[in-house]
Structure 1
Amino acid sequence: MEKKKLSVGNIIYLLSIAILVIMLINPTAKSLWIRGLINIGFFKPEIPAQVLPKVLTNPSNIAFRDSTGKVLNITDLKGKVIFVNFWATWCPPCIAEMPNVNELYQQYKNTPNAIFILADVDNNYTTANAFMKSHQYDLPVYTLVGNMPEDIMDGTIPTTLVFNKKGELVFRHANTANYNSTRFADYFARLIKQ
């Protein structure tokens, strides 16, 4: 009886299946795959050519709390450009975009009229801050105080919002993206200069 040998095609097929299974069950592996796609140019945030700001009906309801208990309210931050990213430590697309968010933050963290809010949807400062520390990010972690209007945050994570200096919502993107791309960084810089 002759033994069957595995062909190169069969080996490649089995390896492909194994990689897919690993990506389905391991969020870190999936985030590395997505990060690779980000780095080659996929997942670019769509910046509208003409920004039509969304005037919020009740912006005073949008508030975030940091781990010390300090509350930041959108209406109290007028005069500043606010970058808000809703994320979770277990979310592969969130993990994948975090290095680019951190790079953008590093450019603007000492800019007085730019605020970054990384809103952990699980409201767990301990886990979120441990995640930031283990990945050597110094991004500021917040939780949402109250409810976010559904037309702004529908539950999809990651979701990123940018408010202009007037407190108007000028950018919203649901799903992963490269926020340190030249195009987005230029857009953010223009908002700060306005």
Structure 2
Amino acid sequence: MINKKHFSASNIIFVVLMILVVITWLNPSAKVELIRGLMAVGAFKPDPDDYARNHKETVSLPNYSYRDASGNIISISGLKDKVVFVNYWATWCPPCLAEIPSINKLFSKFKNNANIVFLMVDTDNDLLKSAAYLKNNHYNLPLYTSVNTFPDALLDGTIPTTLIFGKDGKLKYKHTGAADYDSDKFNEFLEKEAK
């Protein structure tokens, strides 16, 4: 008598999930889409209130500079009295690429607010490549590279990393890893900080 093995629904789901894991592990574009899909269902929501509750240390705007594609240099310490949104990213980083659409939406909402400055910092210092990526994907974000080494206390080498300094020059929010910044809560946080 021949024993027929039947695939149960759980076995089929397991095999499909394993195939998806392998595909996302081997294909960076698939990782980006997976993270964006998770964002769409409510994952990766940043919580500025949680950051404020759990981080009591006072960090101020460092004396640090960035350069744009035209060679103009902006000093972050000279941006006191403004909310400064700094995002460190790279074109090869799937979590970075996954969060850029939400940052672009956030930037579109606040780009005319003179009290908020956005700095998208390419960690590879390859402005041509990163500018091409932004342009090809119809993102209108202000692009910069670092002029000197950023303090390890604020940037430990993990990307993406987002830092937000308040008008008082103090660090109000820090997040490493992907986040969906186009949320009502995060919009309210920026509006409150910009007043």
Answer whether TM exceeds 0.5 for this pair: yes
Within 2, Cα distance between the matches of 1:175 and 1:109?
24
Following superposition of structure 1 onto structure 2, how do residues 24-173 of structure 1 map, counting pairs within 5 Å? 24-48=25-49, 50=52, 52=56, 54-56=58-60, 59-60=62-63, 62-173=64-175
Counterpart residue identity of residue 62, structure 2 = P
Counterpart residue identity of residue 36, structure 2 = R
CA shift for structure 1 position 8: 5.8
| Structure 1 SS opposite 2:179 | coil
CA shift for structure 1 position 28: 1.1
| Matched length | 191
Specify whether residues 6 and 17 from structure 1 end up closer, same or farther in structure 2 by C-alpha distance, changes over 3 A only.
farther
Task: Name the Cα RMSD after superposition.
Answer: 2.2
Identity of aligned residues (%): 42
Within 1, Cα distance between the matches of 2:186 and 2:157?
23
Range moving further from structure 2, 73-82 or 122-131: 73-82
Within 2, Cα distance between the matches of 1:157 and 1:147?
15
| Structure 1 SS opposite 2:178 | coil
| Structure 1 SS opposite 2:49 | coil
Unaligned regions of 5+ residues in structure 2, if any? none
Counterpart residue identity of residue 154, structure 1 = D
Partner residue in 1 for 2:7: 7
Within 2, Cα distance between the matches of 1:70 and 1:6?
66
| Structure 1 SS opposite 2:117 | strand
CA shift for structure 1 position 5: 8.1
CA shift for structure 1 position 71: 0.9
Unaligned regions of 5+ residues in structure 1, if any? none
Deviation per CA, 1:66-88: give whole Å up to 9, x if none.
11111111121112111000011
Specify whether residues 126 and 6 from structure 1 end up closer, same or farther in structure 2 by C-alpha distance, changes over 3 A only.
farther
CA shift for structure 1 position 138: 0.6
Contact 1:53 1:170 in 2 (8 A): no
